[in-house]
Amino acid sequence: MTIVSSAGSSIRHAIARRLQLSAKETTALEWAGDNTGRAAKILLGRRDMQPSEIYRLLLNMPDEAVALVLAKGLTSRKNREGVRRLTKRLLRFMKHDRSMTTIVNGEDLKQLGLKPGPHFKTILERLLDERLDGRITGVAQERDRARTLVERYG
């Protein structure tokens, strides 16, 4: 993956086809390009990122690509503070944030009177972001926030 990370998309696609990689392996290889470099640059440089922003940046990234983000970041020896920040952020994402979910679900939103539709996703993503960022810390607090959001969107 690291070897082909600087190759273009068409080359990575041809390599995946030639090596008869599985769909999962092909997806990981596709992430190897600009996406990992861009993510490393953002995680190294931005001091004021919320955990929810990091989550959204890394959410669909395969583990192999996250490892490549770390490797690309570690090559930035001039920016020691950024490397520490990057490492801390990646560890938090891998150990904690990646598996976090909301307690409130679609059924709860229906019970609160929200009709199924695009607002479900918006509300659930908002609840998760607030949970990741520490603005929601308990079940009752999440349910209250869901009720408020249903009133706004419903």
Residue 55: other Cβ atoms inside 10 A: 19
Task: Find the domain containing 81 and state its range.
Answer: 9-99
Q: How confident is the model at residue 66 (pLDDT cuts 50, 70, 90)?
A: very high
* One domain, residues 93 and 110: no
Average pLDDT over residues 111-118: 92
Predicted pLDDT at 78: 75
- Cβ atoms < 10 Å from Cβ of 120: 17
Enter the tokens of residue 142: 């999440």
Mark whether 13 and 59 lie in a shared domain: yes
The DSSP secondary structure of 15-27, one letter per residue, reads: HHHHTT--HHHHH
CA 59/CA 146 separation, integer angstroms:
22
Q: pTM of the entire structure?
A: 0.85
| Predicted pLDDT of residue 148 | 96
Structure-token pair, residue 128: 């998760």
Same domain, 19 and 93: yes
Q: What is the pLDDT of residue 46?
A: 85
In a domain, 1, yes or no: no
Calculated CA dihedral for residues 100, 103, 107, 109, nearest 10 degrees: -100
Q: What is the pLDDT of residue 10?
A: 87
Euclidean distance between CA atoms 102 and 109, whole angstroms: 12
Mean pLDDT along residues 17-25: 90
CB atoms within 10 A of CB 139: 10
Residue 115, domain member (yes or no): yes
57 in the same domain as 24: yes
The pLDDT value given to residue 7: 79
Report the mean per-residue pLDDT for the chain: 91
Query: Do 16 and 87 reside in the same domain of the chain?
Result: yes
Token pair of 46, please? 């931005």
Q: Are 34 and 69 in the same domain?
A: yes
What's the pLDDT at 128? 98
* 18 and 81 together in one domain: yes
pLDDT average, residue stretch 86-113: 95
- Rounded to an integer, the average pLDDT of 16-27 is 89
73 and 14 together in one domain: yes
State the alpha helices, DSSP H only, in the chain: 9-18, 23-31, 34-45, 51-58, 63-74, 80-95, 106-111, 118-132, 139-153
Please give the average per-residue pLDDT across 85-104, as a whole number: 95
Same domain, 93 and 114: no
pLDDT value of residue 26: 85
